[in-house]
Amino acid sequence: MCNFAKKLETNLFNTMKKITRLLFLAGAILFSAFSMAQNTITGTIMDSDMGAPLPGANIVEVGTTNGVSSDFNGYFSLITESTEGEIEISFVGFGKVLVKFSGDTSLGEVTLSSDNSLEEIVIIGSGIIDLAEDRKTPVAVSTISANQIREKAGNSDLPEILKQTPSVQSSQAGGFGDGQMFLRGFTQVNTAFMLNGQPINGMEDGKMYWSNWSGVLDVANAVQVQRGLGASKLAISSVGGTVNIVTKTIDRKEGGFVQQMVGNDNYIKSTAYYSTGVSEKGWSFGALFGYWQGDGYVDNTDGAGQTYYISVGYQPNERHALNFMLTGAPQQHAVAGSGSIQSFIDNGRRSNSWTYSGVDSPNTLNGGEYPGGRNIYQKPVANLSWDFTINDKSELSTVLYASMGRGSFAQAITSDGEVAYARGSNNNHDWYGLVSNYNNQLTENLNFNVGADIRLYKGYHFRDVREFLAVDSASYSSDYSGGNTYYLTEAGGVNPWEVFFNPNTDHLQRFYYDYEEQINYAGVFSQLEYSKDQLSAFFQGALSNQSHVRTEYLNTNVAGQGEEGDKVNNIGYNLKAGAAYTITDENKVFVNAGYYSRQPFHDTLYKDDRTSNELLEPAVENEEITGLEAGYQYGGKMIQANLNLYHTTWGNVTQTFTNGQDGADFLSYQTLGIKQVHMGVELEVFTQPLDNVRVNGFLSLGNWEYKDNATQRTFDENGTQVGTDENIEIDGFSVGGAAQVNAGANASWEFIPRLSVDAAWNWYNDMYSTGSLADPTIAMPSYDLVDAGLSYKMLVGKNNKNSLQFRVNINNVFDEVYLETVNGNEAVNATDGNYKGVNTENTGRFGYGRTWNTSMRFNF
């Protein structure tokens, strides 16, 4: 702890010198609190997108300069200068509201809607979507509104939108949809992603592939990042935190938009959305369709895709609300490979080390050059939500969902110096689930809910031919034919629609690996929350069973007949508790604690999950996660701030590595007993020094290290252990992948009505590489980035009910050259190259240079 405290002190001193002027503006605007007041107007301002209080909203008496701002809980109290008149309520990014008053008036809740939508949005399945505002005991949370998403998204993935959040870092990784996100130093595998309450991390390995969700930002109503323990009641893998994506469902009134976007490297995107609103009989319909394509920032990473979204709602009465949603984003894009840092220095940061010189044929996926790999995928998601208000104290929310993923990683296979065919590594699945939650306000001070979470998943994994190029067939030998050669003559295609509707189901047209896996999950969860006066407290618990069965098809003696392995059952659970105390209307403190016993992922259970039904010996045990956090919230009229402290221990982790090479021998590795400890401090500050100016900032100071030692085992190609268990000394190694210290600031200025400019700055420091645990990680150079944007909204049509919106984004304004990822542990030496203290023989990738996009949107 002494080293950590010293590290925090040093980083804090260095950081504050850099960002003090950006976090706080000198001076303050003083408002007259005592004047010729006659009446008092009170109320609470609410965000219609999230159903949450809206701190910092402006409340002004019309015709005067008399005004106040809402506090952290959205509450305001305004002493007026007249006995009757109007007040105007406004917030940047939301539509203004005019309210008449006469005498002392209590307005209750006043709802503001995002100004990128003309109508109020309704959230269906709200009892399933674990938003932080639904619980009075706080967590460390940041919310990105629909308006922010619309303006900032551009041609980026979701992780890029979240980088103005404390302890969040994103990497773009080269190709469309290949971005990654780190939260408090944990990868996406250890961050739970939820879509309208539905878990969407991969069931097999917990991974997220943003190319499969490229249309999610088009339909997102809001995104909430809950760091650490979070507010979710499910037994999910939220070691680092939880990201809730809330999509559109029902619009109150008729409306829509059309939008056209263009960007760097021939990027274009067209989107159209229309909603009928709610009819007199309670029906509503909404649909969105989009198309995008582009060459990609990195050489030979072109891509194209579509987005579709359909929503049908029905509200027969005030007690029932149903909504059916179907959304998907079929796409295909070429992948950027990671090469040595030296190769990028020699060839430029746009270079793609994973590109083959190909044949000049229209049959190739990329004309004259065949990329080393192309991702082709479609994953439609459908869910049916039902909200049932049983009475004034209880309600039931249920979501039934399904997804069918079909796709392939197509890779060039050469023969005699030319590209012979495109090999497909297919990862398909069928996933069905149900989440239901019953909530009851037992007493005025006590709230109880209980629910169930069921998931049924089947994965299909195999290799086949996607496209024949210079040949008409390919040969392969396996146990199917007693070791004799058989021929692959069918091609599965490279179009995501073709791949989806015509999956390869013939086991004799598959090679190298061919297996299926059934993963079933059943869990129950519950929460009890107490709230009275200034005190609130909660207790959560969840219990689940997860089963695994693997079926092998390739390494069998009978063609097409699978051999099923042993069934594995793992029990997991979590317990969370916390309390909060409101010191004054402006000051609140809280503390939360939790423990998770998390089942291992399917991919870590087997000696080689691609070729064998044999389980690792001894069996992989549950991971153990312990989280502690405390926080302080300040909600003043002109400034709001959140201060969070956290300590997370992630222990008993097992990692497997396959396809390792030691000379001519094929080896795989299993590392057991890995422990990481992540601790840190986070500060967020929100200010509004003027009605048309906002300045926000954050600072995150972390210390993430491996603790104790681990055990490593080595296996040969038959899954037989080679040698004895080896002790790996990892104690004190720094956890790599993300900056342990980061800071940011952003500001917006509406200098004339509906014309605004904004800018954001991010700084990343104390970064380390990823790589083998046998050697310590190496330090990476720090870097900072500046993004900027300009927005203009023109009111058009009868009574100015329609609008034209223009937006320009410039990312990495100063074209900073920086190392985004480094994989390897090779220290600097006298013979290899040196880039800012990093050996250039390590693999990695430089981040994007300056990029841009501009859009025009017509709201009607």
381 and 195 Cβ atoms separated by less than 8 Å = yes
Mean pLDDT over 631-639 rounds to: 87
What is the pLDDT confidence band of residue 656, given thresholds at 50, 70 and 90?
confident
Task: Report residue 14: phi and psi, to 5°.
Answer: -65, -40
Among 419-428, 540-549, 663-672, the range with the most confident prediction by mean pLDDT is: 540-549
Rounded distance, CA 89 to CA 15, Å? 37
Q: Which helix (H) or strand (E) holds 146?
A: helix 146-153
The angle at the Cα of 11, spanning 6 to 17, to the nearest 5 degrees, equals 135
Q: How far apart are CA 757 and CA 694, in angstroms?
A: 11
| H helix intervals, 577-653 | none
* Mean of pLDDT values over 424-432: 95
318 falls in which pLDDT band (50, 70, 90)?
Answer: confident
Strands (E), 37-127: 39-47, 52-53, 58-61, 67-69, 75-80, 84-91, 94-102, 105-112, 121-122
- On the question of pLDDT at 198 being above 90, the answer is no
Mean of the pLDDT values across residues 382-402? Answer: 93
Q: In terms of Cα–Cα distance, which of 376, 304, 356, 301 is closest to 334?
A: 301
Confidence of residue 116 (pLDDT cuts 50, 70, 90): very low
Is residue 397 within a helix (H) or strand (E), and if so which, with residue range? strand 394-415
Three-state DSSP state, 800: helix
pLDDT at 826 over 80: yes
pLDDT at 664: 46
**For residue 268, what are the CA distances in angstroms to 177, 553, 856?**
15, 43, 12
Question: Helix H segments across 587-686?
Answer: none
Q: Where are the alpha helices (DSSP H) in 311-415?
A: 341-347
pLDDT at 849: 95
What is the C-alpha separation between 594 and 626, in angstroms, rounded? 6
DSSP string, 412-477: EEEETTEEEEEEEEEEEEEEEEEEEEEEEE-SSSEEEEEEEEEEEEEEEEEEEEEEESS-S-EEEE
- pLDDT given for residue 34 in this prediction: 35
Instruction: Report in angstroms the alpha-carbon separations of 441 from 50, 84, 512.
Output: 21, 39, 57
Q: How much is the pLDDT for 414?
A: 76
CA gap 527, 447 in Å, rounded: 8
Q: Report the C-alpha gap between 207 and 203 in whole angstroms.
A: 8
pLDDT tops 80 at residue 126: no
Q: Say yes or no to pLDDT of 4 above 60.
A: no
Tokens standing for 601? 């992922």
Q: How far apart are CA 285 and CA 314, in angstroms?
A: 9
560: alpha, beta or left, given left = phi > 0 and alpha = psi -120 to 50?
left
Nearest to 791 by CA among 89, 117, 58, 147: 147
Least confident of 31-45, 48-62, 583-597: 31-45
Element (H, E) at 542: strand 535-552
For residue 618, whether the previous peptide bond is cis, meaning omega lies within 30 degrees of 0, is yes
What's the CA gap between 190 and 741, in Å, rounded? 19
| Tokens 């398909």 belong to residue | 428
| Residue 28 confidence (pLDDT) | 30
pLDDT in the model for residue 782: 96
Mean pLDDT within 327-332: 93
Indicate whether 235 pLDDT > 80: no
Q: What is the mean pLDDT of residues 317-333?
A: 92
When comparing pLDDT for 231 and 3, which is higher? Answer: 231
Model confidence pLDDT, tens digit, residues 349-368? 998 877 543 333 333 444 43
Q: According to the model, what pLDDT value does residue 356 have?
A: 43
Tokens of 370: 């065949």
User: Phi first, then psi: what are they for 819, rounded to 5°?
Assistant: -80, 120
pLDDT over threshold 90, residue 592: yes
CB 648 within 8 A of CB 679: yes
Instruction: Return the structure tokens found at 108.
Output: 């209750």
Give the pLDDT mean for 668-676.
Answer: 85
Q: Over the chain, what is the mean pLDDT?
A: 84
The confidence score (pLDDT) of residue 521 equals 96
Does position 256 have pLDDT exceeding 60, yes or no?
Answer: yes
Task: Check the CA dihedral 205-210-213-217 and report its sign.
Answer: positive
Query: Most confidently modeled of 32-41, 122-131, 649-658?
Result: 649-658
pTM for the full predicted model? 0.83
pLDDT value, residue 478: 63
Res. 120 pLDDT band, cuts 50 70 90? very low
Partners of 529 in the β-ladder: 447, 538
Check pLDDT > 50 for residue 506: yes
pLDDT at 13: 52
CB–CB of 833/340 below 8 Å?
Answer: no
Where do we find the tokens 């590795």? 669
Please, are residues 594 and 229 in contact by the beta-carbon 8 Å criterion? yes
What distance in Å separates the CA atoms of residue 135 and residue 529, rounded to the nearest whole number?
8
Residue 526, strand partner residues: 450, 541
Does residue 16 register a pLDDT over 80?
no
What is the pLDDT at residue 307?
Answer: 93
In degrees rounded to 5, what are phi and psi of residue 599? Answer: -65, 145
pLDDT at 405: 94
Residue 602 has pLDDT above 70, yes or no: yes
In the chain, % of residues over pLDDT 90:
45
The 3-state DSSP class for residue 367 equals: coil
What would the mean pLDDT of 596-613 be, rounded to a whole number? 82
Amino acid letter for position 42: T
Mean pLDDT of 43-54: 74
**Contact (Cβ atoms closer than 8 angstroms) between residue 398 and residue 128:** yes
Highest-confidence segment of 85-94, 382-391, 713-722: 382-391
Per the CB < 8 A criterion, the answer to whether 484 and 476 are in contact is no
pLDDT at 377 over 80: yes
Task: Answer yes or no: is pLDDT of 529 > 60.
Answer: yes
Average pLDDT over residues 54-81: 81
Q: β-strands 39-47, 105-112: how paired?
A: parallel
* Token pair of 710 as six digits: 């681990």
What is residue 844's DSSP assignment?
E
| CA–CA gap between residue 350 and residue 346 (Å, rounded) | 11
Token pair 């650490």 is at which residue?
A: 228
Contacts of 827 (CB under 8 A, 6+ apart): 778, 839
Please state the φ and ψ torsions of residue 507, each to the nearest 5 degrees: -65, -25
Q: Which helix (H) or strand (E) holds 757?
A: strand 755-765
Q: What is the pLDDT of residues 447-489, one digit of tens each?
A: 999 999 999 999 999 999 998 888 888 888 765 545 667 889 9
Return the pLDDT at 86. Answer: 87
Residue ranges and CATH numbers for the domains of the chain are: 31-112 (2.60.40.10), 121-247 (2.170.130.10), 250-298+317-816+827-850 (2.40.170.20)
Give yes or no for a contact between 525 and 542, defined as CB atoms under 8 angstroms apart: yes
In this structure, are residues 23 and 686 in contact, taking their beta carbons and an 8 Å threshold? no
What integer pLDDT is reported at residue 362 of this predicted model?
33
Local confidence band at 650 (pLDDT 50, 70, 90 cut-offs): very high
**Percent of residues, the chain, with pLDDT higher than 70:** 87
- Measuring CA to CA, which residue among 40, 31, 34, 32 is closest to residue 87? 40
Per-residue model confidence (pLDDT) at position 106:
86
Round to whole Å and give the CA distance between 777 and 27.
Answer: 44
pLDDT-derived band at 662, boundaries 50, 70, 90: very low
Whole-Å CA distances, 605 to 17, 439, 458, 656, 715:
49, 37, 16, 9, 14
Cβ-based neighbours of 690, under 8 Å, separated by 6 or more: 29
Do the Cβ atoms of 586 and 635 come closer than 8 Å? Answer: yes
Query: What is the rounded distance in angstroms from the CA atom of residue 545 to the CA atom of residue 568?
Result: 10
Burial degree of 49 (CB within 10 A; 0-12, 13-18, 19+): buried
CA dihedral 129, 135, 139, 142 (to 10 degrees): 50
Higher pLDDT, 48 or 409: 409
Least confident range of 57-61, 316-320, 436-440, 500-504: 57-61
SS3 of 694-726 = EEEEEEEEEEEEEECEEEEEEECCCCCEEEEEE
How confident is the model at residue 124, as a pLDDT? 66
Question: What pLDDT score was predicted for residue 666?
Answer: 61
Burial-class residue 860 by CB neighbours within 10 Å (0-12, 13-18, 19+): middle
Tell me what the mean pLDDT of segment 766-795 comes to: 92
Cα–Cα dist 702/742, whole Å:
9
Burial of 17 (0-12, 13-18, 19+ CB in 10 A): exposed
Contact predicate 35/79, CB 8 Å: yes
pLDDT given at position 50: 58
Tokens of 68: 């106040």
What is the pLDDT, as a whole number, of residue 790?
96
Q: Name the residue with higher pLDDT: 470 or 529.
A: 529
